[in-house]
Amino acid sequence: MEKRASQRHRVSRAGTIEFDGGVINCMVRNLSSTGARLDLASAVEIPDHFTLMLEEGHHTPCRTVWRKENRIGVTFE
C-alpha cells in the first residue's frame, strides 16, 4: 500500500546535506513535491533534521522519515 502523499519520480541528481557541523554529498534517487529518497555513503551520521541543497540552488528543510545503511527517506518541511 502506497503511503506517500504524492507520487515520486525517479531522478539522478547530485545533492548536499547540510546540518550543524557538517556537509555530506548525496544522490537524490526519487523526488516529489513532498519528499525524496537520498543515497549516500552512510546514513548513520545524518541528523533527523537538515537542509537539502540541490545543484539548481534549491535549499529545502527536511526531516528524516526512515533510514537504512546507505539511504534515507525524507519529507520536506
pLDDT in tens, 23-70: 999 999 999 999 999 999 988 889 999 999 987 788 999 999 999 999
| Contact by Cβ (8 Å): 62, 77 | yes
CA 68 centroid distance within chain: 12
pLDDT the model gives residue 1: 52
Of the candidates 26, 38, 30, 29, the one whose C-alpha atom is nearest the C-alpha of residue 63 is 38
**CATH pick for 9-24+31-76 out of 3.30.70, 2.60.40, 3.40.50, 2.40.10:** 2.40.10
Of the candidates 27, 71, 14, 76, the one whose C-alpha atom is nearest the C-alpha of residue 46 is 71
- Cell numbers that stand for 76 in this block: 520536506
pTM, entire model: 0.86
pLDDT the model gives residue 23: 93
pLDDT the model gives residue 6: 67
CB atoms within 10 A of CB 57: 6
